[in-house]
Amino acid sequence: MNTEIQKILKSKKFFIALIITIGLNLFYCWFVYNEENKSIESTKQYIAYTEKQIKELQQKLKKEKDDMKKRLYLEQINELNRIIQKEKLKMQYASNPKKEIEERARYYKMRYEISQKAGDYKELEINKVNYQILNENIKRKKYYSVGRQFDGWTYLLSQSYGIAFFIIIVLALLIGSGIVSDEYREGTAKILKTMPVKRSNIILSKFIATVLTVSALVIGIQIVFFIVLNLITDSFKYYDVYCNWISKYKVIGFKIYPVSDGVKLLNLLECSLLQLLTEIILILAISGAIMFFSTIFENGAFASISFFAIIIAISIFRQKILILKRPILKLLSLIFPWELSMVYTNSLPGEIEWIYASFYIVIGLNLLMTVIFVLASMKIFEHREKVL
């Protein structure tokens, strides 16, 4: 394994991967910093545009006779109203975080009481949990919100919205796509045949080397950026602030809702550790899949294209997979979940129904896929060795 890691570290691919990782993170920081510091005028324009959308939906709602479409319009109107409320609060309390947190707590308490009267179970659960989170922070005099300023906490947790997944894919393809296929292409696979080592150990060492390298690049650089940003903004002190991630869900059929009674609230430090843990699981699964294709093809480019095609197919058909009648087939939508925030966050009511909100299922399935890919790679490598 040490030999494989040294081989990777000495290669041009590793240097390119390092530059790409640092470059993508710098660009992401620049982009988010600029987005978080939009002018008040642009926020006003956004609110005006959203209010216009609400009026159009309300007009459609009045004319619509179909009950299903009416419910859809109502959900869209409610979601847009939440967005407007959030943006107005940002403008109103930009310089007063204490007042903002207290106002948000009152808002969610009000929404909870409304949903309780209306009998809207999902809204009831979500509003109660959000009120509980804010109320606990108020009791402890912790007036901090993720995203209010661009610090280490905002940087790390915002990576869960597809950014970390994209970086992992790029690095894993760059480092892992040729880790076995290059042995075929360069003819060194014949030399491996003469070595007194189990063929399965050769594949396993290559897999572990890929996982460790990608993990060091992705997570190592994330930690560096996280520390630097928190030092600059003096934000380490907010480690125990509760945010909108919770660790307990209950499953009703294949719809998942947060459990509002006795729910375990997660603070920023716990959320950050869970984010990194989820990334490690994803790195394992993706590295295993790339190893599998690298073992099949003698050309690393073909391995990359094949894996990329699988990712695109899963992304395109994920929504369609979720409406299948057979529950076992719905599990396919859990493979390589690109939006890691869905594992825990309860702040997106419209998306809480996604099956992969159940963390243990996500972890279990992706670890199982990792084992399958690695074992299949071993078998294919042993078979190809006999042909050489």
Q: pLDDT at position 347, please?
A: 41
Strand 265-267 and strand 255-258: the pairing is unpaired
Q: pLDDT at position 220, please?
A: 93
Q: Is the pLDDT assigned to residue 161 strictly greater than 60?
A: yes
Q: What is the mean pLDDT of residues 349-374?
A: 66
Count other Cβ atoms within 10 Å, centred on residue 32. 17
Q: What is the mean pLDDT of residues 374-386?
A: 78
Q: What is the mean pLDDT of residues 31-38?
A: 74
Count other Cβ atoms within 10 Å, centred on residue 261. 9
| Type of residue found at 180 | V
Name the 3-class secondary structure at 13: helix
Count other Cβ atoms within 10 Å, centred on residue 283. 24
The enclosing H or E element of 304 equals helix 300-322
Q: pLDDT at position 332, please?
A: 64
For the chain, how many helices (H) and strands (E)?
Answer: 15, 4
Q: Is the pLDDT assigned to residue 68 strictly greater than 80?
A: yes
Q: What is the mean pLDDT of residues 216-237?
A: 93
Residue 41 to residue 288: CA distance in whole angstroms: 48
Q: Is the pLDDT assigned to residue 349 strictly greater than 50?
A: no
Q: Is the pLDDT assigned to residue 204 strictly greater than 80?
A: yes
User: CA quadruple 129, 130, 131, 133: dihedral positive or negative?
Assistant: positive
Mean predicted lDDT score pLDDT of the chain = 77
Q: pLDDT at position 38, please?
A: 63
User: CA quadruple 87, 91, 96, 99: dihedral positive or negative?
Assistant: negative
Q: Is the pLDDT assigned to residue 343 strictly greater than 60?
A: no
pLDDT in tens, 306-324: 887 877 777 676 656 655 5
Residues near 321 by beta carbon (within 8 Å), at least 6 away in sequence: 329, 330, 332, 333
pLDDT in tens, 44-61: 788 888 888 899 888 888
Segment among 68-77, 208-217, 254-263 with least mean pLDDT? 254-263
Q: What is the mean pLDDT of residues 65-91?
A: 82
Q: Is the pLDDT assigned to residue 225 strictly greater than 90?
A: yes
Q: What is the mean pLDDT of residues 102-114?
A: 87
At 138, the pLDDT band (50, 70, 90 cuts) reads: very high
Q: pLDDT at position 359, please?
A: 64
What percent of the chain is modeled with pLDDT above 70?
73
Q: pLDDT at position 385, please?
A: 58
Q: What is the mean pLDDT of residues 354-370?
A: 68
> What single string gives the DSSP state of each residue in 252-283?
ETTEEEE--TT--EEEHHHHHHHHHHHHHHHH
Q: pLDDT at position 229, please?
A: 93
What percent of the chain is modeled with pLDDT above 90?
13
Q: pLDDT at position 69, please?
A: 83
Q: pLDDT at position 358, please?
A: 55
User: CA quadruple 309, 315, 320, 323: dihedral positive or negative?
Assistant: positive
DSSP 142: -
What Rg, from alpha-carbon coordinates, does the chain have? 24
Name the 3-class secondary structure at 93: coil
Name the 3-class secondary structure at 258: strand
Name the 3-class secondary structure at 244: strand
Q: What is the mean pLDDT of residues 109-133?
A: 81
Count other Cβ atoms within 10 Å, centred on residue 188. 11
Q: pLDDT at position 221, please?
A: 94
Do the Cβ atoms of 126 and 349 come closer than 8 Å? yes
Tokens 């690095």 belong to residue: 171
Residue 350 to residue 25: CA distance in whole angstroms: 29
pLDDT in tens, 265-289: 788 998 888 888 888 988 999 988 8
The enclosing H or E element of 257 equals strand 255-258
Q: pLDDT at position 231, please?
A: 95
Beta bridge partners of 246: 265
Name the 3-class secondary structure at 121: helix
Question: Which is higher by pLDDT, 206 or 330?
Answer: 206
Do the Cβ atoms of 225 and 155 come closer than 8 Å? yes
Residue 207 to residue 202: CA distance in whole angstroms: 9
Q: Is the pLDDT assigned to residue 331 strictly greater than 70?
A: no
Q: Is the pLDDT assigned to residue 344 strictly greater than 70?
A: no
At 180, the pLDDT band (50, 70, 90 cuts) reads: low
Q: pLDDT at position 87, please?
A: 78
Both structure tokens of 85: 């409320």
Question: Which is higher by pLDDT, 121 or 256?
Answer: 121
Question: Which is higher by pLDDT, 285 or 325?
Answer: 285
